[in-house]
Amino acid sequence: MSDDPKLDAIEGNLLAKSHIVRERNRKLVQKKKKSVLQKTGRLVCEACGFDFAEKYGKRGEGVIECHHTKPLRDLKPRSTTRLSDLVLLCSNCHSMIHAKQPWLEVKEIVRLIKLAKRGGRARKNAPKRRKG
Ligand SMILES: [Zn+2]
Ligand SMILES: [Zn+2]
């Protein structure tokens, strides 16, 4: 990182762009989906277990997003993406990962989901709503 926040922002944007380009590599995404389907018979979010086909029926079959896990900062410009660099995520988990800088790792979002399930978000302090 440089001392100049502007430069960091530019670099951040470039990284984000090249991340998305990698994730939009259709051939690779198809390959990833195919290999997971062959192994497990379904496409589920690797963070939360969401299954588009289960939720939406036929329309959801084959629908899932691909996320590139390698920090692009560490990748050389011409390095190739391997299937093992990709994880399958539902749209929500994928958005959560990219919602803020720094991006979360998949294991971090898994942890967040667990925490939230356990009531990590203090619901008991929320004011009670009155009807009407
Ligand atoms: Zn998910
Ligand atoms: Zn992503």
Output phi, psi for 113, to 5 deg.
Answer: -65, -45
The pLDDT, as a whole number, for residue 3 is 72
Cβ(43)–Cβ(64) below 8 Å: yes
- Whose atoms come closest to the Cα of 110: which ligand? 1
Answer yes or no: is 33 within a domain.
Answer: no
User: For residue 8, how far is its CA from the centre of ligand 2 (angstroms)?
Assistant: 20
User: For residue 122, how far is its CA from the centre of ligand 2 (angstroms)?
Assistant: 29
- Averaged over successive runs of 10 residues, the pLDDT of the chain (132 residues) comes to 74 79 85 96 97 97 93 67 92 94 92 89 59 63
The pLDDT, as a whole number, for residue 11 is 76
The one-character DSSP state at 58 is G
User: For residue 103, how far is its CA from the centre of ligand 1 (angstroms)?
Assistant: 15
Q: DSSP H helical segments within 24-123, as ranges?
A: 26-40, 52-56, 91-98, 106-117
Enumerate the β-bridge partners of residue 66.
Answer: 88
3-state secondary structure of 118: coil
> Total domain count for the chain?
1
Output phi, psi for 45, to 5 deg.
Answer: -60, 130
Answer yes or no: is 51 within a domain.
Answer: yes
As residues whose CB is below 5 A from the ion ligand 2, the structure lists 67
The pLDDT, as a whole number, for residue 53 is 97
Cβ burial, residue 126 (10 Å; 0-12/13-18/19+): exposed
Answer yes or no: is 98 within a domain.
Answer: yes
- Whose atoms come closest to the Cα of 21: which ligand? 2
User: For residue 31, how far is its CA from the centre of ligand 2 (angstroms)?
Assistant: 17
| C-alpha count within 13 angstroms, C-beta hemisphere, residue 57 | 0
The pLDDT, as a whole number, for residue 18 is 78
Give the structural domain span for 99. Answer: 40-68+87-119
Enumerate the β-bridge partners of residue 88.
Answer: 66
